[in-house]
Amino acid sequence: MDTEKSIKLLTDAFKTILGVSGRAFGDKSKPYDGMSDDAEGVQWNVATFKDKPERARLGVNLEGMKYDDWPIARFIEGELKSRALLSLPVEKDKIYIGFFRDAWQVTNRPAIEERSLGCSGILLEEMTGFQWKKTLDEAYACLDPQNNHRGRAKQEVTLSKSGMLKMMEVSPHLQIYTTIWSNFPSDVEEAKTLMQKGFDRLMPVYEYVRTCVR
């Protein structure tokens, strides 16, 4: 099965389960393709990567954008006080967690070398309280300290394409995700079954993050 058919299988299952039209993301310059539910604030999304199109993941996503007075700042502030995400009764051995740095060039987000923040991209069961605080501190630093962390900060980053150092606006991007399949499903019905298991696994995380940002 080629990448194009893989994406169609993934997005058809996603749209059917959520009952949304969704918003596609990814292009030829990106290593991934996928779709979000296009909600403002906390989102569901699915993605597959061009180098491993047989694998797919489902995620809970919160971008560092204004929305309703920068909900990502409220999430970080709450977690710095409580670290409660680490104590959720979920399948911690199947859920990955991380914050990533987005650099902004008008509306475009070019690839940068400093994308990963703290101890990102590890299983929830492996994330210690110390590591999570380090990750949260780095994420919080990507929000403007002169505006109560309600806005993008400015940091020097390295553009992956050219290797050039550049001062750019940055923001943090929360991603919590689980693998939903490692081999191509046989059809959309199997894709929906596997994806639903992912939704069930991540639902407590999704609801918790939504509660934090209200």
Which residues on neighbouring strands pair with residue 157, listed in sequence order? Answer: 166
- In the prediction, which pLDDT does 190 show? 96
- In the prediction, which pLDDT does 29 show? 67
Is 161 strand, coil or helix?
A: coil
- Hey, what are 179's tokens? 């693998």
Alpha carbons 42 and 44: distance in angstroms, whole number: 7
- In the prediction, which pLDDT does 174 show? 98
Q: What is the mean pLDDT of the chain?
A: 94
* CATH number of the CATH domain containing 201: 3.30.930
CA dihedral 47, 48, 50, 53 (to 10 degrees): -160
pLDDT digits (tens, 9 = 90+) for 138-179: 999 999 999 999 999 999 999 999 999 999 999 999 999 999
Nearest Cα to Cα of residue 11 among 37, 29, 31, 30: 37
Does residue 143 contact residue 172 with C-beta atoms inside 8 Å?
Answer: yes
Q: Phi and psi of 128, rounded to 5°?
A: -85, 165
Q: Whole domain around residue 23: which residue ranges?
A: 3-213
**How many C-beta atoms surround the C-beta of residue 15 within 10 A?**
15
Domain count, the chain: 1
Alpha carbons 11 and 58: distance in angstroms, whole number: 11
pLDDT digits (tens, 9 = 90+) for 47-56: 998 888 899 9
